[in-house]
Structure 1
Amino acid sequence: MMEQQEGKGNRFSLWMLAWPIFIEQFLQFLLGAVDTLMVSRISDNAVAVVGFSNQLFNALMTLFATVASGAGIVIAQKIGSRKEEEARTVAIIAFNVTAAIGLFLSLILVVAPRQIAAMLQLPTELLPLAEVYISIVGGGMILTAMMAVLSTAIRNTGNTKGPMMTAIGMNVLHIILNYGFIFGELGLPQLGLTGVAISTVVCRLLATLVLLFIFLGSFVRKILPRDFSVFDRRLFKEILVIGWPLGVNSASWVFSQLAIFSFLSILGTTELTARTYMNTLESFCFLLGFSLALAVQIQIAHLYGAGKTKEAYSAVFRVLKVGLPLVIVNAFLLVLFGEHIMKLFTRDQDILSLCTVLLWLNLLLQPGKMVNMAIGNSLNAVGDTRYTMNISLIFMWVVATGCSYLFGVWFGFGIVAIYLSMISDEYIRGVLSYFRWRQRKCLRVKEADLQREREYEKDDACNTECTPSPAI
């Protein structure tokens, strides 16, 4: 039994959680970079459509992130408190609800892709391409939903290697299919952006099947087909209590980014394309930092469930000591070599000039993002999700989005003003989250609960010992 517990503890160590997440995230970044590079061979307009569409998909994903994210934290907490059966039930409930939401979104995107793109101010000349891409990739939104909840559930059991290996296979296949469809090689027809969309959906379908197989065996008792009819109202409520603020928080960020992309569309195709290329490059900066932040969320949720509040409190500071230097170094490397990398994607001098300026601003942006990722995830892990939601609603919309429109569009300072607005938002929320974590609010509540439980058990034991035996 002791060896089993030791193995489980090692499974939830920061390093064991973080390195597979990093490899998975790096491969996802590589997928995006190669995807953008390959699509750029079609046209810069195609790149703009892919970037815009991905922002739309990310925005819609927040509708099922409420359940998936909340369930992930509850699963880690339940496993930490040795309630494996409840963790299993939470995972099943989350899968069913998330798949239903994903199916609903798929139907909407298949029916009205052009209308949605036009409503979000996509330039008219890009609408035909957007209609095709959004209808195909968006039609597979149910696969995206299932992948999200399956990966989250599997990771929060301590198995971060499963999603990593799935990502490896998905990335390799996606690159091969992209190459075939874009250039008409490997016996595949030359379909351009349509082929890229088909490639994306095929890879997600296969990845979903693999993740589902891993998911069925991720708990002490294997999940069988008949178990998918299980529903527990109390556990679903636990998911929503933690999950709905997470969903609102995530929605606030993604929809604010979508609004900012709309502002860039107003500025012009050059600005929109530059931002799409910068999204690809920026991902390089915080890959390891984000992996550490996600790993520490799982670790802290597990420690919190086990009642180890002191260890949970100090975990986030260890992550920041490692993550901040990594992010800064990566951002500085981009400043040095970013222009050369950009020339792999485009030769448009206007786009290259814009990106050169944005790379310097990125050096200022990334440390703020790292602090938000680490401390924000830690607050979420202990259930303080309403606080992160509240500051997101206020500052993302007033500072990041509002100031982006005011200074970037209204006053005409352009994309530089939009970046400065986003930077200000990251640092404000980072500082507020830091002071909130230092207060240890949720950790103190947990400590008080544990103290009451110990006192109750002590009184119960005393009563048992002091009760006279019945006369024979």
Structure 2
Amino acid sequence: MKKERQGFGLWVLAWPIFIEVFLQTLLGTVDTLMVSRISDDAVAVVGISNQLFGALTTLFTTFAGGAGILIAQRMGSKRFSEARTIAIMGVSVSLILGIVVSIILFFYAGPIAGILNISPELLSLSNIYISYVGGGLFLVGMIASLGTAIRNTGNTRGPMYTGVIINVIHIILNYTFIFGMFGLPQLGLAGIAISSIISRLVGVIMLYTMFRGSFEIKIRLRDFRIFNGKLFKEIIRIAWPLGINSSCWVFSQLIVYSFLAALGAEALAARTYLNTLESFCFTLGYAIALAGQIQIAHLFGAGKLKEAYRSAYRTLYIGLAIVSANMLLLFLFGRNLLGYFTSDPRIIAIGISLLALNLLLQPCKMLNMGMGNALNAIGDTRYTMYTSIVSMSIIGVGCSYWFGISLGWGLTGIYCCMIADEFVRGMLVLMRWRGRKVIRQADIGLSEGNASLHGAGKRSTSLTI
């Protein structure tokens, strides 16, 4: 029991997630730095394309995310066989959806670039990047689904080690293919695509090896034919609102990026550079929120409802303190950091103008993520979905267009709307958590179950006498 409690402790779960996500962020930063040596136009293409990839990735990782919550709950309630079955189905469905998305991106890069409002002078670069990086996007789905399943068994170190190796391979291959080292031709953005596919393939192989041994009964290839209709419906019940929630956020960001594209390549590049710096500042907060979700799901599955309720607030307070401190550092040193990415004074000026707004944006994002993940952990995914649909469509997208484009406030107006959206959703999920609706229902269910068992025990004793 002591070993189990330690395995699902907040910091035990969080620090490997932090290192893993930090390395992923570092990988994105290295990509951005290397691409910036090609041109700022190439950076703009990478920025908007990665928003598209993020949006599409949620479509085939959502099922794995819902499965991950149920895995942690089943581990908490000692139903290990069901946890294993859920994990297998989560990976299988994510793989199928990932392959479909990758095929579409590979063959329809041109029309997709048109939908994103990518300017004509950037089309040749975007076709290369969307076709080849997007064509291998199913590997990202496999990494996400395998990593999610492994993490929710309490093993957050395995995905972390994999992340280290992926990053090392990717950075070395990036340098080799982009700049034509060791006698190879200079491939530019195509080099990043090749590097991404190779490093991600290595990651899939490593995670799959860990995944096979994550449960008491080893997982074999023939086990991927397993299908349990009852468990599948339970995954769907949690996953579809979770998917719409995630998709709403990512697609709203994609639409906002299309607004930025309409403002010009300079605004788009400035947002891409600043987003890279923001990601570093938010990484530990994100790790705390994700670790909190795993811990709360485990406690909820174990019937420790009071501990689960308190755990959400502890996660939130720690996350807010960390994110606020990091954003203050970015505010103080942001001008110098932007200089590492570009020498264009207009792009730097745009980025600097947004640094103060980030002091509000990131804590609001932590509030929304921390309490939203807590609700997701106990299966209350429909509420977070409803708040996302309403707030993102009206404030995140509608107001961004109104203030940023129609009224001419530009990037500053869009950022203010992003802050308002995160704050509104954060307050709504906080009020929902304080209402304890799902926890009260679970408490009643546990009480009725205990009463039923107690009554059965009495009848058994009476019959024995």
> Residue in 1 aligned with 2:73?
77
Which of 9, 28, 34 aligns to 1:38? It is 34
Which of 64, 67, 87 aligns to 2:60? It is 64
1:224-303 matches, within 5 Å, as 224-303=220-299
Matched residue type, 2:59: L
> Residue in 2 aligned with 1:331?
327
> Residue in 2 aligned with 1:342?
338
Matched residue type, 1:309: L
Which of 6, 17, 27 aligns to 1:21? It is 17
Instruction: Work out whether 1:178 is the aligned partner of 2:189.
Output: no
Query: 2-side partners of 1:65 and 1:347: how far apart?
Result: 38
Shift of 1:267: 0.8
Query: Residues 402-454 of structure 1: CA distance to partner in whole angstroms, max 9, x if unpaired?
Result: 00101101111101000000000011111111111001111111111100110
> Residue in 2 aligned with 1:8?
4
Which of 383, 391, 398 aligns to 1:395? It is 391
Shift of 1:221: 1.0
Query: 2-side partners of 1:444 and 1:198: how far apart?
Result: 51
Q: Where does the alignment leave 5 or more consecutive residues of structure 1 unmatched?
A: none
> Residue in 2 aligned with 1:314?
310
Shift of 1:190: 1.3
Contact kept? 1:286, 1:327, Cα under 8 Å? yes
Query: 1-side partners of 2:4 and 2:434: how far apart?
Result: 29
Query: 2-side partners of 1:397 and 1:65: how far apart?
Result: 22
Matched residue type, 1:430: G
Contact kept? 1:39, 1:47, Cα under 8 Å? yes
Query: 2-side partners of 1:10 and 1:324: how far apart?
Result: 24
> Residue in 2 aligned with 1:206?
202
Query: Residues 59-102 of structure 1: CA distance to partner in whole angstroms, max 9, x if unpaired?
Result: 11121132011000000001101000000000111111110000
Query: 1-side partners of 2:104 and 2:70: how far apart?
Result: 30
Contact kept? 1:180, 1:187, Cα under 8 Å? no
Shift of 1:279: 1.0
Contact kept? 1:47, 1:273, Cα under 8 Å? yes
Contact kept? 1:65, 1:250, Cα under 8 Å? no
Query: 2-side partners of 1:339 and 1:199: how far apart?
Result: 31
> Residue in 1 aligned with 2:152?
156
Instruction: Work out whether 1:438 is the aligned partner of 2:434.
Output: yes
Query: 2-side partners of 1:203 and 1:32: how far apart?
Result: 13
> Residue in 1 aligned with 2:363?
367
Query: Residues 185-225 of structure 1: CA distance to partner in whole angstroms, max 9, x if unpaired?
Result: 14433111110111011111110110000000001111012
Task: Give me the CA root mean square deviation.
Answer: 0.9
Matched residue type, 1:143: L
**SS class of match (2:422):** helix
Query: 1-side partners of 2:323 and 2:29: how far apart?
Result: 19
Matched residue type, 1:321: Y
> Residue in 1 aligned with 2:375?
379
Contact kept? 1:29, 1:280, Cα under 8 Å? yes
**SS class of match (2:85):** helix
Query: 2-side partners of 1:146 and 1:33: how far apart?
Result: 22
Contact kept? 1:316, 1:378, Cα under 8 Å? yes
Query: 2-side partners of 1:342 and 1:178: how far apart?
Result: 22
Matched residue type, 2:237: V
> Residue in 2 aligned with 1:196?
192
Contact kept? 1:66, 1:240, Cα under 8 Å? no
Query: 2-side partners of 1:460 and 1:6: how far apart?
Result: 31
Matched residue type, 2:260: L
> Residue in 2 aligned with 1:87?
83
Query: 1-side partners of 2:456 and 2:370: how far apart?
Result: 41
Shift of 1:467: 1.1
> Residue in 2 aligned with 1:147?
143
Q: Where does the alignment leave 5 or more consecutive residues of structure 2 unmatched?
A: none
Contact kept? 1:65, 1:246, Cα under 8 Å? no
Matched residue type, 2:198: V
Query: 2-side partners of 1:230 and 1:82: how far apart?
Result: 20
Query: Residues 374-415 of structure 1: CA distance to partner in whole angstroms, max 9, x if unpaired?
Result: 100000000110000000000011001100101101111101
**SS class of match (1:467):** helix
Query: 1-side partners of 2:455 and 2:462: how far apart?
Result: 10
> Residue in 1 aligned with 2:48?
52
Which of 351, 355, 363 aligns to 1:355? It is 351
Which of 433, 453, 460 aligns to 1:464? It is 460
Matched residue type, 1:15: W
Which is further off, 189-198 or 254-263? 189-198
Query: 2-side partners of 1:186 and 1:25: how far apart?
Result: 31
Percent identity between the two aligned chains: 55
> Residue in 2 aligned with 1:127?
123
Query: Residues 222-248 of structure 1: CA distance to partner in whole angstroms, max 9, x if unpaired?
Result: 101211110001001111111110000
Query: Residues 333-379 of structure 1: CA distance to partner in whole angstroms, max 9, x if unpaired?
Result: 11111111111110011100000011111111011011111100000
Which is further off, 182-191 or 199-208? 182-191
Shift of 1:322: 1.5
**SS class of match (1:158):** coil
Matched residue type, 1:37: L
Query: 2-side partners of 1:295 and 1:187: how far apart?
Result: 45
**SS class of match (1:218):** coil
TM-score (norm 2): 0.99
Query: 1-side partners of 2:22 and 2:219: how far apart?
Result: 30
Query: Residues 247-274 of structure 1: CA distance to partner in whole angstroms, max 9, x if unpaired?
Result: 0000000000000000011111111111
**SS class of match (2:181):** coil
Shift of 1:320: 2.0
Matched residue type, 2:116: L
Shift of 1:321: 2.0
Query: Residues 311-343 of structure 1: CA distance to partner in whole angstroms, max 9, x if unpaired?
Result: 000011112222112111111111111111111
Query: 2-side partners of 1:449 and 1:350: how far apart?
Result: 60
**SS class of match (1:221):** coil
TM-score (norm 1): 0.97
